[in-house]
Amino acid sequence: MNTSGGGDVRRQLEQIIEPISGAVSITNVETVNDPSGHLQSYKVWVKKE
């Protein structure tokens, strides 16, 4: 994922999730960091449309 754009993250997450779950809207995104503080993953809350 390209995280340089900031707002692009939500759009990229939608593109990953929608083929699996169908139409969704992202309600919350939380970053998960490793013990060193580096980005490890995202927790994403979605609402089915």
Residues in the chain: 49
Domain boundaries defined on the chain: 8-48
Give pLDDT, residue 41.
Answer: 96
Q: Measured between alpha carbons, how far apart are the two ends of the chain, in Å?
A: 24
Give the dihedral sign, CA 18/20/23/28.
negative
23 DSSP assignment: S
Q: Which helix (H) or strand (E) holds 16?
A: helix 8-21
Question: pLDDT tens across 12-49, in order?
Answer: 999 999 999 999 999 999 999 999 999 999 999 999 98
Residue keyed to tokens 């139409």: 23
How much is the pTM? 0.72
User: Cβ(39)–Cβ(3) under 8 Å?
Assistant: yes
